[in-house]
Chain A
Amino acid sequence: MKKLIIYGLLVFFVSMGGTLYYAVDMMGDDTINITTIAIASLILILAIGSSLKYTYQIKYEKAEGELYPESWDDIQKYDNDIPKIWGYSFLASIVFVLWYILIGYPTNSFSQIGQYNEEVLEYNEKWEKKWESIKDDKEALNKMGKSLFLNECAVCHGILADGLNGASRDLVYWGSEKHVEDVIINGSSGSYAMEMPAGMAMGEDAKAISAYVVSEFFEKKEITNEHLIPQGKELYASCAGCHGMDGNGIEGVAPSLRALTTSTLNTGRKGKIGIMPAFGRLNPIQKDALNTYIKNLK
């Protein structure tokens, strides 16, 4: 009997302990998580507790009662009453359900879509304030961007954003001086109907434009060809036709260089393993956050 109690407790603590090992961090104030943990404990307590109770009865009590006269293949049966606890529990569950079906449920006018709408409403209210304050806080945007990236983008680009050995675009390289230079020389396509042709500039010129674009629009401080920036600024004029003098791009023609990520998220892009879909479901602040995060990747 003692052994059984120990086994029972062991199963309980291993199962619940293992569950809580992960769950504590995720529980939050989510009622569904809390209910689940409570019910999970209840399942184990009731199942293990009842089994132990009846095992105890097997060990310390004796079955007796009045036998029915009939028997089947020598099996006889007692005319014992039903166990009281069982009977009352059964009755209670029936009463509860009758109440629930006839009164509880109809008067509550529950609908799962209604519940969903409430959940979304509550969510929106809660985060609107947070987003409001985050707008100009680069640090916070970066953090939020990282979180978004891990959830939405890491699937293809990898958690290090290195593009998983060429399976998708290496985002650390993307937006670097070297990459911009490469685009200027080799052109770019995939997002817009009009392609950016190859050979817009070559050699030293391409390096100069790249240095300028990266320092000015990508807001990066450390540039390898810093001395070329003034020259790049002049040469950029040839790019401004499409990308705009201020680097904001032209809707439907060329992407904004200031928010290259945002623009890719809006249009989607033909990539290496497939078309990257447009992420229209992200809201502007989320896109902004991703833009900040990817710009600052090292």
Chain B
Amino acid sequence: MFHWLEERPFMFAAVVIVFTAFAGIVELIPDFAKSSRPLVGTKPYTVLQLAGRGVYIKESCNSCHSQLIRPFKSETARYGMYSLSGEYAYDRPFLWGSKRTGPDLLRVGNYRTTDWHEYHMWEPKDVMPTSIMPAYKHMFTNLAKIETAYAEAYTVKKVFNVPYDKEGMPVLGSFEEAKALALKEAKEIAKDMKSKEVKALLEDGKVPEIVAMIAYLNSLK
């Protein structure tokens, strides 16, 4: 039979497709709907947080930091409650990571604060002398992509019915409204920050990456 296939490339290819596609169908489809259901109380990210998430992705923080707490005593003692599927329902893409060169960040908002992040991002070695994390000084001057973040939020609202503007959920509104809201949120965060450059930029109506990043990290709870 196999020899027969080897003389018929088209049939050969067809059998290969069946062989390889089979597993995906069996494993991925049955629980697809269940796995995308949000947990009660989980909210989509605000525009500022999404912009921060964009910075997180841009710098590939997920190369070194996971966002997945596995159900072991040693992990819950270190990082907090283990992950639940519904918590990730609004994560597009997911950011579980595959390597912990640095600690897990899924609940970093519970035990690190704005000023800690500011200090740490500027120079991790000031906080942890043997840290091997690079400093991210450029985040203090680069501007966060608020417009792209809004575009993303708008897209998921339209295409995937993510519940922005619903009761108890983050407000999206028009771009102008969202931009004003993000700026307000950013200024609120900057109150706990020391950097003069950051404050000056915010006064100009510009949001530096670091503020968006901190907004995102603080939202991880």
Report if A and B touch in the complex (beta carbons < 8 A). Answer: yes
Interface residues of A (CB under 8 A from B): 112-113, 115-116, 119-120, 123, 155-156, 164, 167, 273-275, 277, 281
Known A-B contacts A273-B116, A275-B115; the reply to A116 vs B128 at CB < 8 A is: no
Partner of A167, one of B110, B126, B192: B126
Are the C-beta atoms of B110 and A274 separated by less than 8 Å? no
Interface size on B, residues (CB 8 A): 21
Nearest CB in chain B: distance from A280 CB, A: 10
Q: Which residues of B contact A275 (CB under 8 A)?
A: 113, 115-116, 192
Interface pairs (24), CB distance under 8 Å: A112-B71, A113-B71, A113-B82, A115-B71, A116-B71, A116-B72, A116-B73, A116-B76, A119-B72, A119-B73, A155-B128, A167-B126, A167-B127, A273-B119, A273-B127, A274-B114, A274-B115, A275-B113, A275-B115, A275-B116, A277-B110, A277-B111, A277-B113, A281-B80
As a 0/1 sequence over residues 71 to 101 of chain B, the CB contacts with chain A under 8 angstroms (1 = contact) are: 1110010001010000000000000000000
In the complex, A155 Cα to B80 Cα: how many Å?
Answer: 17
As a 0/1 sequence over residues 38 to 57 of chain B, the CB contacts with chain A under 8 angstroms (1 = contact) are: 00000000000000000000
Nearest CB in chain A: distance from B98 CB, A: 18
Nearest CB in chain A: distance from B181 CB, A: 25
Partner of B119, one of A113, A119, A274: A274
List B112-138 residues whose CB lies under 8 Å from chain A.
112-119, 126-129
Q: Which residues of A contact B112 (CB under 8 A)?
A: 274, 277
In the complex, A113 Cα to B126 Cα: how many Å?
Answer: 39
In the complex, A274 Cα to B217 Cα: how many Å?
Answer: 15
In the complex, A281 Cα to B126 Cα: how many Å?
Answer: 27
Known A-B contacts A155-B128, A167-B126; the reply to A123 vs B73 at CB < 8 A is: yes
Nearest CB in chain B: distance from A285 CB, A: 15
Most chain B CB within 10 A, of A119, A273, A277, is at A273
In the complex, A281 Cα to B115 Cα: how many Å?
Answer: 22
Q: Which residue of B lies closest to A68 (CB)?
A: B3
Are the C-beta atoms of B116 and A274 separated by less than 8 Å? yes
Nearest CB in chain A: distance from B39 CB, A: 14
Known A-B contacts A123-B73, A156-B127, A164-B129; the reply to A116 vs B82 at CB < 8 A is: yes
Nearest CB in chain B: distance from A176 CB, A: 24
In the complex, A39 Cα to B83 Cα: how many Å?
Answer: 28
List B174-188 residues whose CB lies under 8 Å from chain A.
none
In the complex, A116 Cα to B73 Cα: how many Å?
Answer: 7
In the complex, A112 Cα to B119 Cα: how many Å?
Answer: 38
Nearest CB in chain A: distance from B51 CB, A: 22
Closest 7 CB pairs of A and B: A274-B116, A116-B71, A274-B115, A275-B113, A277-B111, A273-B119, A274-B113
Q: Which residues of A contact B116 (CB under 8 A)?
A: 273-275
Q: Which residue of B lies closest to A268 (CB)?
A: B113
In the complex, A33 Cα to B124 Cα: how many Å?
Answer: 32
Nearest CB in chain B: distance from A281 CB, A: 8
Nearest CB in chain A: distance from B76 CB, A: 8
In the complex, A123 Cα to B73 Cα: how many Å?
Answer: 9
Please give 13 more A-B residue pairs, beta carbons under 8 A apart, in addition to A116-B76, A274-B117. A113-B82, A116-B82, A155-B128, A164-B129, A273-B116, A273-B119, A274-B112, A274-B113, A274-B116, A275-B115, A277-B110, A277-B113, A281-B80
Q: Which residues of B contact A156 (CB under 8 A)?
A: 127
Nearest CB in chain A: distance from B109 CB, A: 10
In the complex, A113 Cα to B73 Cα: how many Å?
Answer: 11
Q: Which residue of A lies closest to B111 (CB)?
A: A277
Q: Which residues of B contact A167 (CB under 8 A)?
A: 126-127
In the complex, A123 Cα to B72 Cα: how many Å?
Answer: 11
In the complex, A156 Cα to B119 Cα: how many Å?
Answer: 12
Nearest CB in chain B: distance from A201 CB, A: 31
In the complex, A280 Cα to B175 Cα: how many Å?
Answer: 40
Nearest CB in chain A: distance from B74 CB, A: 9
Q: Which residue of A lies closest to B126 (CB)?
A: A167
